[in-house]
Amino acid sequence: MSIYIDPAVAASLRGFEMPEKLGFGTVMAPVMFRAVCQDGCWSQGELVPYAPLALDPAAKVLHYAQSCFEGMKAYRTQAGGVSLFRPERNAARMAHSAARLCMPPVPEALFMDGVRTVTAYCANLVPATSGESLYLRPFLFGTQADLSVSASTSYEFYVIASPSEAYHAGNMRLWVEREDSRAALGGTGDAKVGGNYAASLRSVARLKERGYDQSLWLNPGNRNTVDELSGMNFFAVINGELHTPALSGSILEGVTRDSLIDLARDMGYTVHERAIDIDELLGQVAEGSCDEAFACGTAAIVSPISLFGDGGREYPLAKAPGPVAERLRQMLLDIQEGRAEDKFGWMHPVEVVSID
């Protein structure tokens, strides 16, 4: 299906001024992509100026959190072009998230149209500094005005974009969360849906008071093995080998996690996907066989962990930032920013549309 480009888009883009300070997810690109779905039928996709949405006060999303989203980035490459990283994985994950909440999937072609069109028109907004990028946020939510607890009959899909710095800079201090959960066993942890993030806020508020940066979530079934962080997956380096939690049903399957597993193996590391017992891991940190740990995600890329706090004790990592995290981060960015060969076929170049 063709995409409708609102004639006002050009003026919006021309009038946009890039602020000095970007931050993460606060500066919004002046255009957005949208499509609506009524009773299972999708409208044409449109690129329109960024503007407030009109939502009925009884819309399902406001009451019953029927919403899911994705996070991905457009990178400026060495050669001057703009590329997306494995966008088909985000399209597939969004379909999975939608199904968990009884929402219609956004068709892969429509999803790709959305992220490609926004990227193509916003190419001038992709920052050129390594580690910075145009963060893309596709999202889908139920709009039917009806207060009964049931799936919406109508939906809206948007792609908005934000020129951004990388999400985390420093070495992260993690708090082992033994009480709160972000998602249930048999819940929505393996889907990228709003409720998981809402449930995580209290833990983060509490740990910040104690001087920590992020919660380390445990499996809600056994409360003993590591799941992930609120917006990143987890890796530990134990005796020089990489260990990451196997997908447990309550872990979001990160595109970065998956890519790092391939990349690390290709670089000669042994990588284990397994259930990681938290007490065993903390013991290994204390005794030194685990000397490095890091988190990864689209927003955070690869972010080193400096210590674990658990109850009254702290477990500092010997190497923070550690050499494995540094090498992986650099190799991943080299591929994403076009300095290294794209041997896995991950990069998806976008043809730029020039305005004026």
Ligand X SMILES: Cc1ncc(COP(=O)(O)O)c(C=O)c1O
b/e burial code for range 222-260 (CB count within 10 A of at least 16 → b) = eeebbbbbbbbbbbbbbeeebbbbebbebbbbbbbbbbb
Q: Which two tokens stand for residue 12?
A: 């919006």
88: number of Cβ within 10 Å: 13
- Residue 321, preceding peptide bond in cis (omega within 30° of 0): yes
Query: Which residue bears the tokens 């706090």?
Result: 309
Q: Which stretch binds a copy of itself (CB under 8 A): 36-44, 141-149, 263-271, 308-316?
A: 141-149
Give the one entry of a copy of itself, ligand X, none that residue 26 binds, where binding means its C-beta sits below a cut-off of 5 to 8 angstroms depending on kind: a copy of itself
Q: Which two tokens stand for residue 134?
A: 């145009």
SS3 at position 348? strand
Site residues (vs ligand X, CB under 6 A): 71, 192, 228, 230-233, 252, 254-257, 297-298
Compare residues 61 and 331 and give the one whose CB is closer to a copy of itself.
61
Farthest-apart Cα atoms in the chain, separation: 64
Q: Which stretch binds a copy of itself (CB under 8 A): 79-87, 145-153, 307-315, 339-347?
A: 145-153
Measured from each CB, the residue nearest to ligand X is: 254
CA of 280: how far to CAs of 72, 316, 347, in Å?
Answer: 34, 15, 38
**Binding test (CB under 8 A) with a copy of itself, winner from 77, 117, 188, 298:** 188
Q: Which stretch binds a copy of itself (CB under 8 A): 98-106, 300-308, 309-317, 348-356?
A: 98-106
Residue 111 interacts with a copy of itself (CB under 8 A): yes or no:
no
Are 333 and 298 a contacting pair, CB within 8 Å?
A: no
Compare residues 99 and 318 and give the one whose CB is closer to a copy of itself.
99
Interacting residues toward a copy of itself by CB under 8 A = 24-26, 28, 32, 50-58, 61-67, 69, 100-102, 135, 137, 139, 141, 145-151, 158, 160, 162, 167, 179-188, 193-202, 204-205, 220, 223, 230-231
